[in-house]
Amino acid sequence: MGSPFRQIDPPQRLLMGPGPVNAHPRVLRAMSADLLGQFDPEFTAYMTEVMGLYRPIFGTANRWTFLVNGTARAGIEASLISLVAPGDRVLVLNFGRFGLLLTEILDRIGAVIETVNAPWGQTIAMEEVAAAIARFQPKVVASVHGDTSTTMAQPLEGLGALCHAAGAYSYVDATATIGGMEIAADRWGVDIVTGGLQKCLGGPSGSSPITVSDRAAEHIFSRRHTERGIRRSDLEQGEGQRISSNYFDLAMIMDYWSDKRLNHHTEATTMLYGARECACVVLEEGLEARYAAHAAAGRAVVAGVRAMGLQVFGDDRFRMTNVTGIHIPEGVNGETVRIRMREDFEIEIGTAFGPLQGKIWRIGAMGYNAAKHKVLITLGALEAVLRAEGFRLPAGAGVDAALEAYSA
């Protein structure tokens, strides 16, 4: 056994699962920059830059576009706990593991929850959402955009209009799609959207970009109760029920990101550098080019696995561009394949959860890994492992089909 004080030296794996993926080298370099104090004018200028950089990525002009410190789940929980008070009625669009996560968080808040459900591998028609809103009269409607557990992307056009007409707020978890598929917060008319760095944005987990509409901000500020140790007579307090979490209190976090710079926590300097660089990489590439690259990688994966004689999971019409589910063929041990991919080729592909556990693999081609050569390497390795496991398939067909998909 080596010394516990040795330097970390992880294997150089190609992470082609549903996330995290390999971080862009530019992001890692940015994260090695010197620390600054959280009120240093150079640092607060970086905070302001981050707000501006993420607005086009979210497809919004929202003033309140910033970061929540913590993994993507921190943004989810901060949004829900700041929008929803105990006893509020919330409608959840549930079509996979992460729709169930929303209900789990809301249940802990004490919300009254109703769900509109779709089988794993399908999505929910907006007509069903409209009927549920009319029947249940929720205060908040919450949905995942792309659920990596099922590889499905929920269509969201029209959701905001339905919520506005019913006087409800809307929340969208775009952790798995931001930076890889279009996020159109303003066009969708939704109030809060959150994301994560570790998938299509090509960064490490640990920071959650968020955008909040003015109408949602007004509601959140109505619950503002500034921490006693920094409260001043000139700071307006809300009359609504206090947000029950201190750390995830968006009213206080937004005061920190505002011109007030009212201290809430010590900003995660290194993560802010990384989040800033993620946005710079995306915007330099161009959003349309970025989405096209993810779509091309997804098409190539689908073409490749089908050419190998494998079946792709879920509804083709609504599949995420960046994650593909693949049925594990009968007689093949799915975990053995994953282990051999990792040990023989240093490539990680994903397993599955819930009713799909042991039934599908998930291959992600996103962020820094939404690259032609990485898709081809992964398909070639999968073919070699499947042949070694006794699965009959035409030699080279997967890579050839992927190349043809790229050329088309």
Which tens digit of pLDDT belongs to each residue from 386-396? 999 999 999 99
Look at residues 298, 297, 274, 323 and name the one whose alpha carbon lies nearest to residue 144.
Answer: 323
pLDDT tens-digit readout, 293-315: 999 999 999 999 999 999 999 99
The reply to whether 295 falls in a domain is yes
Q: What is the mean pLDDT of residues 78-94?
A: 98
Q: With bands split at pLDDT 50, 70 and 90, how would you rate the model's confidence at 2?
A: low
Q: What is the mean pLDDT of residues 216-239?
A: 91
Q: Do residues 203 and 303 both lie within one domain? A: no
pLDDT, the chain, mean = 96
Q: Do residues 219 and 274 both lie within one domain? A: yes
DSSP assignment of 242-260, as one string? PPS-STT-HHHHHHHHSTT
Q: What separation in angstroms does the CA of 194 have from each of 64, 164, 270, 366?
A: 12, 19, 20, 18
Q: Do residues 180 and 295 both lie within one domain? A: no
Q: Do residues 273 and 163 both lie within one domain? A: yes
Q: What is the mean pLDDT of residues 359-372?
A: 98
125 pLDDT above the threshold of 90? yes
CATH number of the domain within which 242 lies: 3.40.640.10
pLDDT tens-digit readout, 236-256: 898 999 999 999 999 999 999
Domain carrying residue 352: 287-407
Q: What is the mean pLDDT of residues 317-331?
A: 97
Q: What is the mean pLDDT of residues 148-160?
A: 97
363 pLDDT above the threshold of 80? yes
pLDDT on residue 1:
54
pLDDT on residue 4:
82
Q: Which of 282, 312, 327 is the last residue of a domain?
A: 282
Q: With bands split at pLDDT 50, 70 and 90, how would you rate the model's confidence at 233?
A: confident
Q: What is the mean pLDDT of residues 366-370?
A: 98
Q: Which of 282, 311, 333 is the last residue of a domain?
A: 282
3-state secondary structure string, 107-163? Answer: HHHCCEEEEEECCECECCCHHHHHHHHHHHCCCEEEEECEECCCCEECCCCCHHHHH
The reply to whether 11 falls in a domain is no
pLDDT on residue 94:
98
Q: What is the mean pLDDT of residues 221-229?
A: 93
The reply to whether 254 falls in a domain is yes
Q: With bands split at pLDDT 50, 70 and 90, how would you rate the model's confidence at 235?
A: confident
Report how many domains make up the chain. 2
Stated pTM of the model: 0.96
Q: What is the mean pLDDT of residues 96-123?
A: 97
Q: What is the mean pLDDT of residues 353-366?
A: 96
Q: Do residues 213 and 355 both lie within one domain? A: no
Fill in the amino acid letter for 340.
Answer: R
Q: With bands split at pLDDT 50, 70 and 90, how would you rate the model's confidence at 3?
A: confident
The conformational region for residue 385 under phi > 0 = left, psi -120 to 50 = alpha, else beta, is alpha
161 pLDDT above the threshold of 80? yes
Structure tokens at 109: 């808040």
Q: What is the mean pLDDT of residues 41-55?
A: 97
Q: Which of 282, 311, 346 is the last residue of a domain?
A: 282
Q: Which of 57-61, 82-86, 190-194, 230-234 has the lowest mean pLDDT?
A: 230-234
Return the SS3 of 183.
coil
